[in-house]
């Protein structure tokens, strides 16, 4: 511990060394520049190079210290705008004070000019250096190595400008007046401006702002830009008597700040028309996460029945939401919520029966966005409802209810709302079933009840039968341990020629892991048809899990998308066990790179995730499993292990169906662990390519 503390102190000292050294050099240069008695051996040229070195150390130091790293994006943008406003104000103040001092007495002109120039130069330089740190943070939002190289090139261009400005020349004095803006081309300045323009387009922080923030920053940024751009010359004139090196750096930074400000304002203006749609989508996703947590936390059925319409109304911004459940004697309305007294009410039973029939037949949401002009919709929704959205509340492929949402105006719901509304209805079904189980077992002990409920919820969420896939067969099993875990698998027919295969494992045990697994499975069902690649699905699940997951919990998952007609499968792993490809008596382990869900945000998670696509041939088999299989121990504390599993899979006959492979592995595991309590869940799933047709040989 003492060594770690000492190492931390050394790191802190090294991180602050450049910043403190640069600040010290600049303070010394300022003191020597404005002392009444000059030091003869300190030539002006040497002092300029000292100032240049101090500025370079200061810029590198502010980048290493990163004092703004812990601030939110909104605060960084506000501070950057306030800093630019402060620079503009200093420029205006410098112009006014110079005029006032020039009109004073000789003593005031003698003392005031030097003192004012020193103070102004130090303030402008310090503020510009601080803004450089904020500028770098904004440029690097959601950026990668290319931006790092581009930013390093910009820093190098500033150094080149310093060398160009301070290099001795035979055809001009060392410090000619206004040499930075002399007539003729200035290649270093052109290079710096060009790199600043490229950095100006690194503004990926704009999509993260909501519509209100975009509008506010744009309107407030216009006067800031006007003041800042109008005072750039005043700022450089205020710093010029102090040091030409400082002016060179200041001109480079002001150029970069100005270009970045202008391009950002233009980008904000372009994003404003679509900001409302983006805000709506983000609000829906956040609402689903919050509502899932709220439903999962309430285990009393009567409270859930009353809460579901209220939360659904918030999520899709409906005027009226009604929940009806199948209570044995038919579907009956059990809860209704209206946002306003004049919100549309539910139509009579004779009409809702038609909508319910469509929902049951299609097993997916029904959307009527212009109900007033459709005969069926007018009867269904009534004269006061212009839009209607209905989704099945289904559990274990059985519809236990229907959730309705209505709006007064036409086209009140967007198409994308259907998937989110269905996911919420699915989560509501899980919560209702869990609540019913709690009410049935309320008299048992709390710990025993928690394990039983979580176990039942986990088993009911697993597929009860595998979908029929032409040319393939699937089989899987989940064997639970004494304590409830978070293992799960799913096979989803996500399209006419697409089957999604999922195997996952939530860290930890108990009801918390089981509920997280249930929520994740609901999210997977909602996302399966919206993305074409397993990588995109895992990235969205990672954001959901980081928002929804409890501290200390994470989730590993293998996600595969099978295209049966092409016999190809794409696989991505989020920190999960490798997938075995069994081909011609050998086993090849597929291990595309990826972090576990919930361990890192999207900036780290997405770049670290890889996909692997495999072409399958008849007889090939894929084997998915969770770590409870290879970590199972026998009476001698020996693990089952990957080597034993590899030999077992390699020896399995290719003619055996997928179910035989699953039974063989589970049977060998039970024999290996006989007499020992299992400490973790075990989930295995097998896929076999080239199922023989009926009547064919072999």
Main-chain phi, psi angles of 695, to 5 degrees: 90, -10
pLDDT of 4-56, one tens digit each? 444 444 434 444 555 555 556 666 655 555 554 444 545 566 667 777 777 77
Q: Is 489 left (phi over 0), alpha (psi -120 to 50) or beta?
A: beta
Length of the chain: 698
pLDDT for residue 8:
43
Structure tokens at 558: 């293998």
Q: Which residue has the higher pLDDT, 30 or 539?
A: 539
Kind and range of the H or E element at 561? strand 555-563
pLDDT at residue 182 greater than cutoff 70:
no
Residue 370: pLDDT band with limits 50, 70, 90: low
Alpha carbon distance 234, 226 (integer Å): 14
pLDDT at residue 194 greater than cutoff 80:
yes
229-236 long-range Cβ contacts below 8 angstroms, 24+ apart: 229/258, 230/88, 231/87, 231/88, 231/89, 231/90, 231/91, 231/92, 231/95, 232/91, 232/258, 233/91, 234/91, 234/92, 234/94, 234/95, 235/87, 235/90, 235/91, 235/94, 235/124, 236/180
For residue 439, give the 3-state DSSP assignment: helix
Residues 582 and 627 in one domain: yes
Alpha carbon distance 512, 518 (integer Å): 10
Structure tokens at 560: 């595969």
pLDDT for residue 641:
92
C-alpha angle 653/656/659, rounded to 5°?
130
Residue 569's domain is classified under what CATH number? Answer: 3.60.40.10
Count: domains in the chain: 3
pLDDT for residue 294:
60
Alpha carbon distance 84, 531 (integer Å): 42
Residue 375 has a CB neighbour count (10 Å cut-off) of 8
Main-chain phi, psi angles of 656, to 5 degrees: -70, 145
Residue 417 lies inside a defined structural domain of this protein: yes
Kind and range of the H or E element at 247? helix 244-297
Residue 11 lies inside a defined structural domain of this protein: no
pLDDT for residue 106:
47
DSSP secondary structure letters along 115-147: HHHHHHHHHHHHHHHHHHHHHHHHHTTT--HHH
The alpha carbon dihedral of 516, 518, 521, 526 has a sign of negative
Going from the C-alpha of 42 to that of each of 37, 46, 124, 170, 371, the distances in angstroms are 12, 7, 25, 21, 86
Residues 376 and 425 in one domain: yes
pLDDT for residue 376:
45
Q: Which of 289-298, 361-370, 408-417, 671-680 has the weakest average pLDDT?
A: 289-298
Alpha carbon distance 419, 424 (integer Å): 9
Alpha carbon distance 403, 424 (integer Å): 10
Residues 410 and 544 in one domain: no
Main-chain phi, psi angles of 288, to 5 degrees: -60, -40
Residues 311 and 269 in one domain: no
What radius of gyration do the chain's Cα atoms show?
34
Residue 213 lies inside a defined structural domain of this protein: yes
Core vs surface per residue 570-585: b (16+ CB within 10 A) or e: bbbbbbbbbbbbbbee
End of a domain among 220, 243, 275? 275
Residue 390's domain is classified under what CATH number? Answer: 3.30.450.40
pLDDT for residue 17:
54
For residue 184, give the 3-state DSSP assignment: coil
Residues 556 and 615 in one domain: yes
**Mean pLDDT computed over 507-533:** 78
Residue 459 lies inside a defined structural domain of this protein: no
Residues 658 and 623 in one domain: yes
Residues 381 and 517 in one domain: no
Residue 529 lies inside a defined structural domain of this protein: yes
Residues 417 and 328 in one domain: yes
**Closest by CA position to 556, among listed 510, 513, 497:** 513
Main-chain phi, psi angles of 118, to 5 degrees: -65, -50
Residue with tokens 């003192």: 115
**Mean pLDDT computed over 420-436:** 80
Through-space distance between the first and last CA atoms of the chain, rounded to whole angstroms: 66
Residue 282: pLDDT band with limits 50, 70, 90: low
- Residues of the chain with pLDDT > 70, as a percent, come to 70
Residue 350: pLDDT band with limits 50, 70, 90: low
Residue 194 lies inside a defined structural domain of this protein: yes
Percent helix, percent strand, percent coil in the chain, to nearest 5: 55, 15, 30
Whether 258 contacts 197, CB under 8 Å: no
The residues with which 321 forms a beta bridge, in sequence order, are: 337, 405
pLDDT for residue 53:
73
Whether 664 contacts 639, CB under 8 Å: no
Residues 250 and 318 in one domain: no
pLDDT at residue 108 greater than cutoff 60:
no
Residue 317 has a CB neighbour count (10 Å cut-off) of 16
Half-sphere exposure of 74 (CA within 13 A, CB side): 8
Residues 307 and 430 in one domain: yes
pLDDT for residue 107:
43
Residue 377 lies inside a defined structural domain of this protein: yes
Residues 305 and 361 in one domain: yes
Alpha carbon distance 176, 185 (integer Å): 17
End of a domain among 240, 275, 310? 275
Alpha carbon distance 648, 406 (integer Å): 57
For residue 102, give the 3-state DSSP assignment: helix
pLDDT for residue 7:
45
Alpha carbon distance 530, 285 (integer Å): 14
Whether 500 contacts 559, CB under 8 Å: yes
Residues 233 and 361 in one domain: no
| Residue 256: domain span | 72-275
End of a domain among 209, 240, 275? 275
For residue 470, give the 3-state DSSP assignment: coil
Whether 388 contacts 371, CB under 8 Å: yes
**Mean pLDDT computed over 587-613:** 92
Whether 192 contacts 154, CB under 8 Å: yes
Residue 175 lies inside a defined structural domain of this protein: yes
pLDDT for residue 649:
94
pLDDT for residue 280:
63
Residue with tokens 């030097």: 114
Average pLDDT, the chain: 76
Positions of E strands within 236-364: 320-326, 331-338
Structure tokens at 504: 């996952």
Kind and range of the H or E element at 395? strand 387-395
pLDDT for residue 605:
92
Alpha carbon distance 335, 306 (integer Å): 6
**Closest by CA position to 584, among listed 616, 612, 611:** 616
- Residues of the chain with pLDDT > 90, as a percent, come to 18
Alpha carbon distance 537, 524 (integer Å): 8
Main-chain phi, psi angles of 550, to 5 degrees: -80, 155
DSSP secondary structure letters along 189-222: HHHHHHHHHHHHT--TTGGGS-HHHHHHHHHHHH
Structure tokens at 113: 């000019």
């Amino acid at each position: 511990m003492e060594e770690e503390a000492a190492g931390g102190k050394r790191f802190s000292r090294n991180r602050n060394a450049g910043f403190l050294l640069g600040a010290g050099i600049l303070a010394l240069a300022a003191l020597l520049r404005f002392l009444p008695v000059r030091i003869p051996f300190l030539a002006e040229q040497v002092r300029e190079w000292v100032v240049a070195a101090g500025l370079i150390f200061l810029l590198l130091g502010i980048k290493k210290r990163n004092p703004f790293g812990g601030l939110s994006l909104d605060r960084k943008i506000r501070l950057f705008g306030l800093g630019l406003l402060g620079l503009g104000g200093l420029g205006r103040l410098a112009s006014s004070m110079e005029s006032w001092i020039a009109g004073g007495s000789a003593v005031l002109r003698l003392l005031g000019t030097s003192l004012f120039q020193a103070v102004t130069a130090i303030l402008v330089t310090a503020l510009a250096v601080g803004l450089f740190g904020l500028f770098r943070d904004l440029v690097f939002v959601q950026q990668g190595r290319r931006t790092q190289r581009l930013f390093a090139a910009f820093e190098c261009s500033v150094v080149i400008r310093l060398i160009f400005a301070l290099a001795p020349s035979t055809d001009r004095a060392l410090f000619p007046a206004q040499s930075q803006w002399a007539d003729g081309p200035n290649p270093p300045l052109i290079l710096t401006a060009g790199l600043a323009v490229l950095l100006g387009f690194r503004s990926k922080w704009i999509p993260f702002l909501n519509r209100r923030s975009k509008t506010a920053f744009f309107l407030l940024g216009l006067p800031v830009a006007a003041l800042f751009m109008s005072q750039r010359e005043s700022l450089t004139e205020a710093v010029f008597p102090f040091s030409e090196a400082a002016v060179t750096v200041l001109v480079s930074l002001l150029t970069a700040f100005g270009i970045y400000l202008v391009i950002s304002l233009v980008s904000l203006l372009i994003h404003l028309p679509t900001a409302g749609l983006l805000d709506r989508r983000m609000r829906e996703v956040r609402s689903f996460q919050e509502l899932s947590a709220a439903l999962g936390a309430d285990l009393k059925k009567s409270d859930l029945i009353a809460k579901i319409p209220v939360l659904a109304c918030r999520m899709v911004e409906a005027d009226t939401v009604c929940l009806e459940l199948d209570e044995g004697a038919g579907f009956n309305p059990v809860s209704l919520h209206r946002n306003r007294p004049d919100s549309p009410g539910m139509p009579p039973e004779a009409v809702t029966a038609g909508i319910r029939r469509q929902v049951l037949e299609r097993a997916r949401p029904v959307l009527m966005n212009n109900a007033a002009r459709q005969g069926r919709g007018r009867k269904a929704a009534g004269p006061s409802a212009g839009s209607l959205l209905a989704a099945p509340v289904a559990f274990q492929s059985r519809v236990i209810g229907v959730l309705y949402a209505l709006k007064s105006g036409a086209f009140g719901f967007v198409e994308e709302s259907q998937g989110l509304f269905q996911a919420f209805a699915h989560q509501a079904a899980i919560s209702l079933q869990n609540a019913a189980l709690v009410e049935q077992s309320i008299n048992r002990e709390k710990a025993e009840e928690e394990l039983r409920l979580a176990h039942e919820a986990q088993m009911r969420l697993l597929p009860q039968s595998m979908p029929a896939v032409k040319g393939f067969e699937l089989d899987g099993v989940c064997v639970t341990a004494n304590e409830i875990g978070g293992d799960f698998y799913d096979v989803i027919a996500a399209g006419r020629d697409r089957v999604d295969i999922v195997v996952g494992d939530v860290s930890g045990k108990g009801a918390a892991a089981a509920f997280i697994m249930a929520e994740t499975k609901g999210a997977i069902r909602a996302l399966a048809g919206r993305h074409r690649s397993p990588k995109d699905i895992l990235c969205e699940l990672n954001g959901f899990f980081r928002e929804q997951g409890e501290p200390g919990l994470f989730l590993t998952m293998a996600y595969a998308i099978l295209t049966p007609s092409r016999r190809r499968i794409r696989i991505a792993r989020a920190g999960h066990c490798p997938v075995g490809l069994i081909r011609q008596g050998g086993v090849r382990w597929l291990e595309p790179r990826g972090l576990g869900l919930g361990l890192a945000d999207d900036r780290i998670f997405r770049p670290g995730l890889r996909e692997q696509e495999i072409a399958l041939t008849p007889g090939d088999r894929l084997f998915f499993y969770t770590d409870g299989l290879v970590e199972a121990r026998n009476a001698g504390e020996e693990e089952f292990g990957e080597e034993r599993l590899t030999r077992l899979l390699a020896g399995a006959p290719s003619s055996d169906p997928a179910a035989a492979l699953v039974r063989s592995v589970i049977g060998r595991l039970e024999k290996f662990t006989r007499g020992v309590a299992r400490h973790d869940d075990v989930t295995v799933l097998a896929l076999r390519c080239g199922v023989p047709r009926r009547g064919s040989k072999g």
